Amino acid sequence: MAGQYQAVYQSWMDDPEAFWADAATDVQWYEPWSKVLDDTNPPFFRWFEGAQLNTCYNALDYHVESGRAEQSALIYDSPVTDTIREYSYRQLRDEVAHLAGALAQ
């Protein structure tokens, strides 16, 4: 495990922009980035300039579409109310859509 960590760390050290560009391929983007890192105005850096994504899609819909709809996405465990509730990706997506619809009203 330490060797694998060291290899990943070294990859990041050797070329941070290429490292993060490669890592970002695991994210579903609506629009790709034009530049991985804009460091022309330190300390205000801009990552993945021009890119657009939908966080909710990446967190929920993508997993439903990838065949993980019935897997656990969230486990709510409250010691205060002694309540435990488990939500699948599909259930959580539907709950979020319901709330988003209410907020849009």
pLDDT digits (tens, 9 = 90+) for 19-35: 999 999 999 999 999 99
pLDDT digits (tens, 9 = 90+) for 41-75: 999 999 999 999 999 999 999 999 999 999 999 99
Query: pTM (2 decimals)?
Result: 0.78
Q: What is the 3-state secondary structure (H, E, C) of the chain?
A: CHHHHHHHHHHHHHCHHHHHHHHHHHCCCCECCCEEEECCCCCCCEEEECCECCHHHHHHHHHHHHHHCCCEEEEEEECCCCEEEEEEHHHHHHHHHHHHHHHHC
